[in-house]
């Protein structure tokens, strides 16, 4: 069999794989680069819930190949089934053997399938990142009346929000924790999300677990049954590490592929990025089960830049975990440690809060109230985390907080933040939320 060879092979066609290849082309313009993807019609992961209502045409959420083509990256529709590290080649499902100098694993993740009786029923749908599969799910949804969503994380709440906007749908959301988004927000923000969904008619079943799926209904842990023409699994995902394990690569404590600060695996010629990689918390270095396209693409930029020469300015110093979502006009963001997580880790913290309009004066059309919470180390004054809710501007405010965390900014520095303000765009300069929250905490530090 003829053996071909590339300077760089990327295994995986999701955001992490695409950005790895594009970045590699930027830093190494003369190298030959091949991306192998197993799904012909991939989707933009964060847009999946919106294919069911907001986007009238599911194809509007397709993940195209334009960035790869523009960067002169070769594309192959196939699947990598084996990595032979000693020979430095990969084998594909179609039987091709391709050599590499550098290999990037961007194998993504698989939906978590919990041990629930009846999970293999034909009306149960995990979320796969495949256009044709998701179009089939949408067709089934059109005929369903009673929809049960399992999981109160980002996937679950966004599906609940979208489907509740469809006519004639009864939506129930089952969550084992006492409030929604518990892993990313403190209770005051999680309860805000719950109230928003209930106002849209979603039935919340908190502190509950699904024990069994019985045809057209589900049975909860307390014995209660609720009708279910369709069950959507929004529980999360687990790293797809099968290929890496079979190649003898190390896994981290969180069972994702272990990588160093430059996204190198235990083999210096094999890199790994995205959901298949283990994450380490920015502050504690503990395992952090975060699977975000934004995190994946940040890792991909590090990997692509460091393939043939380490660039010290391009390194991954830990995962901050920055989230944002939007429910029926309510935007929410979270970055770094929540207050409960920080205290649980043993940090002595002070909290700063602010509630102000996001335009000025508050009577400006379209103004919303911003609610902001910042968490600081009591001893050093360094920011550890933040949460925000409000209008669309909350989505960018949380990114400012993420940068502050990454740069280890203090409450004092945030108090003297220089910002641009405008009546149509921001809170007033006299009441800028980041400054007010920092001042509120600073008075106690």
- Residue 427's domain is classified under what CATH number? 3.30.390.30
How far is residue 118's CA from residue 211's CA, in Å, rounded to a whole number? 9
Please check the confidence at residue 432 and state whether its pLDDT lies above 50: yes
Would you call 258 exposed, middle or buried from its count of C-beta atoms within 10 A (0-12, 13-18, 19+)?
Answer: buried
Please, which residues have CB within 8 angstroms of residue 139's CB and are 6 or more apart in sequence? none
How far is residue 441's CA from residue 376's CA, in Å, rounded to a whole number? 7
Question: Helix 15-27 to helix 293-305 angle, to the nearest 10 degrees?
Answer: 30
Give the pLDDT of residue 380. 95
- Mean pLDDT taken over the chain: 95
Residue 155, domain member (yes or no): yes
Give the pLDDT of residue 1. 40
The three-point CA angle 178-182-186 to 5° equals 100
Residue 99 belongs to a domain with what CATH number? 3.50.50.60
Q: Are 104 and 242 found together in one domain? A: yes
Please check the confidence at residue 379 and state whether its pLDDT lies above 70: yes
Where in the sequence is the domain holding 65, given as residue range(s)?
A: 4-110+238-305
Q: Are 259 and 225 found together in one domain? A: no
Q: Are 106 and 244 found together in one domain? A: yes
Residue 282, domain member (yes or no): yes
How far is residue 238's CA from residue 246's CA, in Å, rounded to a whole number? 17
Residue 395, domain member (yes or no): yes
Residues in the chain: 445
Give the pLDDT band (50/70/90) at residue 2: very low
pLDDT (mean) for 31-42: 94
Residue 365, domain member (yes or no): yes
Q: Are 159 and 273 found together in one domain? A: no
Backbone angles phi, psi at 326, to 5 degrees: -145, 125
Could you tell me where the beta strands, DSSP code E, fall in 166-253?
Answer: 170-174, 203-205, 210-214, 217-220, 225-227, 230-233, 237-239
Which residue carries 């989230």 as its tokens?
A: 323
Q: Are 297 and 371 found together in one domain? A: no
pLDDT tens per residue across span 124-148 = 999 999 999 999 999 999 999 999 9
Number of structural domains (the chain) is 3
Of 206, 235, 264, the last residue of a domain is: 235
How far is residue 19's CA from residue 359's CA, in Å, rounded to a whole number? 36
Q: Are 373 and 402 found together in one domain? A: yes
pLDDT tens per residue across span 260-289 = 999 999 999 999 999 999 999 999 999 988
Give the pLDDT band (50/70/90) at residue 312: low
Residue 317, domain member (yes or no): no
Which residue carries 């959420």 as its tokens?
A: 61
Please check the confidence at residue 62 and state whether its pLDDT lies above 80: yes
pLDDT tens per residue across span 175-232 = 999 999 999 999 999 999 999 999 999 999 999 999 999 989 999 999 999 999 999 9
Whether the bond into 243 is cis, omega within 30 of 0: no
Residue 91, domain member (yes or no): yes
Letter string b/e over residues 426-445, b meaning 16 or more CB atoms within 10 A of that residue's CB: bbbeebbbbbbbbebbbeeb
Q: Are 231 and 246 found together in one domain? A: no
Q: Are 179 and 283 found together in one domain? A: no
Residue 321, domain member (yes or no): no
Give the pLDDT of residue 3. 58
Of 305, 322, 355, the last residue of a domain is: 305
Give the pLDDT of residue 313. 61
Number of H helices, E strands in the chain: 11, 22
Residue 364, domain member (yes or no): yes
Q: What is the pTM of this model?
A: 0.92
Give the pLDDT of residue 424. 95
Q: Are 106 and 251 found together in one domain? A: yes
Which residue carries 């002169």 as its tokens?
A: 72
């Amino acid at each position: 069999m003829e053996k071909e060879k590339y300077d760089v092979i990327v295994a995986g066609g999701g955001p992490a794989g695409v950005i790895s290849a594009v970045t590699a082309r930027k830093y190494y313009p003369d190298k030959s680069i091949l991306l192998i993807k197993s799904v012909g019609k991939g989707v933009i992961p964060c847009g999946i819930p919106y294919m069911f209502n907001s986007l009238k045409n599911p194809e509007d959420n397709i993940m195209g190949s334009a960035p790869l083509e523009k960067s002169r990256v070769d594309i192959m529709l196939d699947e990598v089934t084996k990595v032979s590290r000693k020979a430095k080649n990969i084998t594909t499902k179609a039987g091709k053997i391709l050599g590499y100098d550098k290999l990037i694993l961007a194998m993504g993740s698989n939906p978590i399938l919990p041990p629930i009786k009846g999970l293999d029923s034909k009306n149960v749908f995990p979320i796969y990142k495949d256009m044709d599969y998701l179009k089939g799910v949408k067709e089934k949804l059109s005929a369903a009346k009673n929809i049960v969503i399992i999981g109160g994380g980002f996937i679950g709440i966004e599906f609940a929000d979208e489907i509740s906007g469809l006519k004639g749908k009864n939506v129930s959301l089952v969550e084992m924790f006492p409030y929604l988004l518990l892993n990313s927000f403190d209770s005051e923000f999680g309860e805000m999300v719950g109230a928003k969904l209930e106002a849209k008619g979603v039935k919340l079943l908190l502190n509950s677990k699904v024990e069994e799926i019985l045809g057209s209904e589900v049975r909860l842990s307390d014995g209660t049954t609720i009708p279910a023409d369709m069950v959507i699994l929004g529980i999360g995902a687990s790293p797809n590490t099968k290929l890496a394990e079979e190649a003898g690569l190390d896994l981290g404590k969180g069972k994702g592929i272990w990588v160093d600060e430059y996204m190198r695996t235990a083999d210096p010629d094999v890199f790994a990025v995205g959901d298949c990689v283990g994450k380490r918390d920015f502050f504690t270095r503990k395992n952090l089960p975060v699977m975000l396209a934004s995190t994946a693409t940040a890792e991909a930029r590090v990997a692509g830049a460091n393939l043939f020469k380490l660039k010290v300015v391009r390194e991954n110093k830990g995962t901050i975990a920055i989230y944002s979502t939007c429910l029926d006009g309510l935007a929410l963001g979270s970055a770094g440690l929540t207050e409960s997580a920080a205290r649980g880790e043993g940090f002595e913290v002070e909290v700063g809060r602010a509630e102000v309009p996001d335009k000025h004066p508050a009577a400006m059309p379209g103004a919303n109230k911003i609610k902001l919470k910042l968490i600081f180390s009591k001893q050093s004054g360094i920011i550890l985390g933040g949460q925000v809710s409000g209008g669309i501007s909350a989505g960018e405010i949380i990114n400012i907080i993420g940068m502050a965390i990454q740069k280890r900014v203090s409450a004092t520095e945030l108090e003297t933040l220089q910002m641009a303000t405008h009546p149509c765009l921001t809170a007033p300069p006299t009441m800028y939320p980041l400054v007010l929250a920092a001042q509120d905490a600073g008075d106690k530090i």
